[in-house]
Amino acid sequence: MGFDLLTENAFAGHAAAAAGSAAGAAFLTHPLDTLKTLLQVGAGSSQQVGLLQVVERVRMVSGLSDGRTYKYVHVSEALLAGMAAGAMEAVICTPFELLKIRGQVSSASHLKKFGSVGVMQESTPLISKLLPGSTPNMKAWNNTLGMLSTLSTSHIDIVGVLKQYPWMLTGSGRPPFASEVKEPSKIVSLEGWSALWRGLRPGIAQKCVFGGFFFSTWQFFHIAMLDWKALDMNPPPRSIDDVGPVSPLASSLAVGFSGMVAAAASHPFDTAKTRSQCIVTPKYITMERKLLRWEPPGIWLERVTGMSPADRNIMFRGLKLRMLRSGIASFALVGSYLLSLDYLF
């Protein structure tokens, strides 16, 4: 903790720039490095391999792209690619999912409006920003002032200061419901810009697990269907690329089943993400947690993925609906895509 914050940020910036520069340099010079390696390996005591011979050998075997020429994708590769794509999707889509979830919650919530709220919001604009959907409870307010009046204080206007903390005026001490803070302007005003990415950690876990299971399972069934199709071909195909496309219906069914498997594997993280996005946390509470260095409860997996220990018994609630929804959506997406290709081409 002896480093200054600005120094740490500068170090992180230099580290990121250096890593990006090194990666770019390695990308540009990789063909030369490949030729250098082949010259070193191919050299012998009695025979020296020339540069032109190495280039021609690489072109004949692998092509000038220095990679494999077939289109076969391993299941492990599909798993890693799906996890990477899921992490990127979580970062981009989390704000939109937050707005969607709070809109869905508000469709089943009844908001009560009171006439005194408008008068109080006009007199104290701060309350209109921090207490959406709440009403003042003057009895609780008076009781609070009565208890504080017995304490010795040197502040000249303690009542005015307490009015800057509008939660005390409600008498309940609770934040607004998610259904009361669903518009982007209210979310930013009450909770800050960072609230748009609330649930990012469980979202990344959910998208990574879903993407990994989805694409690896789909690739597994795709390879199995190609191998089954190759059994009836005469002469046998030389590679998997010569087998041909799979039936659109069979491919759509495989995708639908893969979506159901992925939904079942990632459902606990989806539950954690959904519940966290329905919690309204005002900006000052978030600031207090940072100042107090508040540590979330639970085991290390729950802390890393943003899961609450209090939700352990309800993590699989709604599993069947999500599996059904994911299977139908995946089947419809791929099926309509393949059907469109048949009609267009």
pLDDT digits (tens, 9 = 90+) for 76-102: 888 998 899 999 999 999 999 999 888
**What residue has token string 């709220």?**
117
Specify the higher pLDDT residue, 43 or 234: 234
The reported pLDDT for the residue numbered 178 is: 81
Distance CA 16, CA 260 (A): 38
The reported pLDDT for the residue numbered 261 is: 96
Specify the higher pLDDT residue, 298 or 113: 298
Mean of pLDDT over the chain: 77
**What residue has token string 């979830």?**
101
Tell me the pLDDT band of 62, cut-offs 50, 70 and 90.
low
Distance CA 266, CA 211 (A): 9
Distance CA 84, CA 37 (A): 30
Contacts of 40 (CB under 8 A, 6+ apart): none
The reported pLDDT for the residue numbered 191 is: 85
pLDDT in tens, 278-329: 888 878 777 878 888 888 888 888 888 888 888 889 899 999 999 999 999 9
The reported pLDDT for the residue numbered 93 is: 92
Specify the higher pLDDT residue, 8 or 138: 138
Residue among 123, 136, 145, 186 at smallest CA distance from 166: 136
pLDDT average, residue stretch 261-274: 93
Residue among 12, 13, 62, 72 at smallest CA distance from 38: 62
| Other beta carbons less than 10 A from residue 244's beta carbon | 10
Tell me the helices (H) and strands (E) count for the chain, helix number first.
Answer: 14, 0
Tell me the pLDDT band of 267, cut-offs 50, 70 and 90.
very high
End-to-end CA distance of the chain: 63
Distance CA 240, CA 245 (A): 10
Q: What is the CA radius of gyration of the chain?
A: 30
At residue 121, does pLDDT exceed 50? no
The reported pLDDT for the residue numbered 33 is: 74
Specify the higher pLDDT residue, 136 or 41: 41
Specify the higher pLDDT residue, 67 or 79: 79
Asked if 225 contacts 215 with a C-beta cutoff of 8 angstroms, the reply is no
Tell me the pLDDT band of 331, cut-offs 50, 70 and 90.
very high
Residue 68 per-residue DSSP state: -
At residue 258, does pLDDT exceed 90? yes
The reported pLDDT for the residue numbered 6 is: 39
At residue 168, does pLDDT exceed 60? no
Percent of the chain residues past pLDDT 70, beyond the cut = 66
Contacts of 154 (CB under 8 A, 6+ apart): none
pLDDT average, residue stretch 161-165: 61
Distance CA 317, CA 333 (A): 26
The reported pLDDT for the residue numbered 145 is: 67
Peptide bond into 95 cis (omega under 30): no
